[in-house]
Structure 1
Amino acid sequence: MQQGTADDYIIEASGLSRYFYGFAAVKDVDLKVRRNTIHALIGPNGAGKTTTFNLITKFLQPSEGTIRYNGEDITALKPEEVARKGIVRSFQISAVFPRMSVRENVRMALQRPTGTSYRFWQSERTLGVLNDRIDELLDAVGMLSYRNHVAVNLPYGRKRALEIATTLALDPEMLLLDEPTSGMGHEDVDRIAELIRKVASDRTVLMVEHNLSVVSALSDTITVLAQGRVLAEGNYETVSRDPRVVEAYIGGADD
């Protein structure tokens, strides 16, 4: 693993543990995410990947350990407070407003200046000032031609692209992606992978991903979890040759 100074890392988790009724879903995890990189969390079923995600974004509170973001201790913060600091996540299940248009979905995210409320009551003319930014975001994710489509009618891969556009509307410094290519066909996987590479050009991405071809193509650093602990860390070549990683994957499919 490469050495670096504290300033090199946007997230530093130390001794992170989470217990459920005595069971350790995550145990003594140390995780450092270097800023402006793509960092992947991988591991077999039940490894603790999503729990680690939930701890970093504060959807769960750690039983033990600390989390620092840009040098600030955020261990005790609430999810909305963490989001306002610049950590925004997507979920494994696409989360868009299905009956709204693509453009309206992105507008909803842009209407969130304080992180507390939406301005439903403002006129279309007032909200129209957001249209240039909406179109810019949709163009960035290849969705501009879909801007007037109702979200529920979009193919699955396009819904995931729309979700990334709405997260980018929040102007995150760090983007956490939970299974961004899950359930996609080959064409959509390639499209979303290229989109992740594009959006990572000026921000940090931490992702849970089971498609190892995507992981190998995109990731600067990979942390392998098994049974709630860090098993290995490094670039793809390093972790793929680690006999402990090979053993962890034998006999079981990824979740």
Structure 2
Amino acid sequence: MSDQFVLETRGLVKEFKGFVAVDDVNLKVQRGHIHALIGPNGAGKTTVFNLLTKFLPPTRGTILFNGKDITSLKSAAIARRGVVRSFQISAVFPHMTALENIRVALQSFEGNSFQFWKSGHSLNKLNERCMELLDSVGLTEFANTTTVELAYGRKRALELATTLAMEPELLLLDEPTQGMGGEDVERVVELVRKAAEGRTVLMVEHNLGVVSKLCDRITVLAQGSVLTEGEYKEVSEDPRVREVYMGSANTTQEAVE
């Protein structure tokens, strides 16, 4: 694999008791790009994410990160290599403040998370970095706000900040705008664009308006296989893509059109 590609899959397959959820998926994610994985419900997008981060073991195939085979590594080892995933459902501690959530993420990354339960005072040295991360997602003024009190869009921004605390080289975003209204969607688009500076992003996203604004390259999955790949314009004009989206939500059809 060339240095051009930070992530590559070769012949990736996942079978569940005879059902093929992912079938011979070959991805090449170029370094520094925002790359989208799209497709109708049941296309296999989240399963591919689960394979890449080893929440599921592949039935067959190879996963390469920076040219090295990581297929046999476990989730934690892959994260330490720099492949970090932000989940579809907001994954933050609701009864901690925004700053405390970031601090826990930093502790986990540094391998000393046990300190959190010993003494908050020993962690003050992390506060400066916490505030930098909160500032990067526009949450400085909410540093001492309990997470449960944050609006949904701000919770997702906080989740992104906790992910960035892991200093990912490849950031995997699973439906970052799911369940959001227009204003929150625009905020997240800008956050993802900012988060992508100096790193590579692979994202699953249903909102094709978001994909058109953000992504350098798009891979379309259908029934577990790659249907087509390219820039947004060529993908959105492909009659096969229109066909697989027929019967989906109107917002998705409109975005394709």
Q: Deviations over 1:55-90 (max 9, x none)?
A: 011111110100000011000111111001001101
Give the match for residue 61 of structure 1: 57
Give the match for residue 161 of structure 1: 157
Q: How many Å separate the matches in 2 of 1:124 and 1:157?
A: 28
Whether 2:137 is the aligned partner of 1:141: answer: yes
CA shift, 1:14, in A, is 0.5
Q: How many Å separate the matches in 1 of 2:125 and 2:159?
A: 21
Give the match for residue 222 of structure 1: 218
Q: How many Å separate the matches in 1 of 2:36 and 2:159?
A: 19
Letter matched to residue 86 of structure 1:
G
For the structure 1 residues 190 and 32, does the alpha-carbon distance in structure 2 shift closer, same or farther, using more than 3 Å as the test? same
Give the match for residue 203 of structure 1: 199
Q: How many Å separate the matches in 1 of 2:203 and 2:186?
A: 16
**Do the aligned partners of 1:108 and 1:118 also contact (CA within 8 Å) in 2?**
no
**Do the aligned partners of 2:109 and 2:165 also contact (CA within 8 Å) in 1?**
no
Whether 2:190 is the aligned partner of 1:194: answer: yes
CA shift, 1:131, in A, is 1.0
Give the match for residue 7 of structure 2: 11
Q: How many Å separate the matches in 2 of 1:85 and 1:7?
A: 16
**Do the aligned partners of 2:51 and 2:57 also contact (CA within 8 Å) in 1?**
yes
Letter matched to residue 99 of structure 1:
H
Q: How many Å separate the matches in 2 of 1:141 and 1:19?
A: 38
Question: What are structure 2's unaligned runs of at least 5 residues?
Answer: 253-257
**Do the aligned partners of 2:220 and 2:227 also contact (CA within 8 Å) in 1?**
yes
CA shift, 1:153, in A, is 1.1
For the structure 1 residues 115 and 19, does the alpha-carbon distance in structure 2 shift closer, same or farther, using more than 3 Å as the test? farther
User: 77, 84, 92: which is aligned to 2:88?
Assistant: 92
Q: How many Å separate the matches in 1 of 2:218 and 2:80?
A: 27
Task: Give the % identical residues.
Answer: 63
Aligned residues: 250
Q: Deviations over 1:6-39 (max 9, x none)?
A: 1100101000000011000000000010011100
For the structure 1 residues 236 and 113, does the alpha-carbon distance in structure 2 shift closer, same or farther, using more than 3 Å as the test? closer
Q: Which residues of 2 match residues 53-132 of structure 1 at below 5 A?
A: 53-115=49-111, 117-132=113-128
Secondary structure, counterpart of 2:164 in structure 1: helix
**Do the aligned partners of 2:116 and 2:123 also contact (CA within 8 Å) in 1?**
no
Cα RMSD, aligned residues only = 1.2
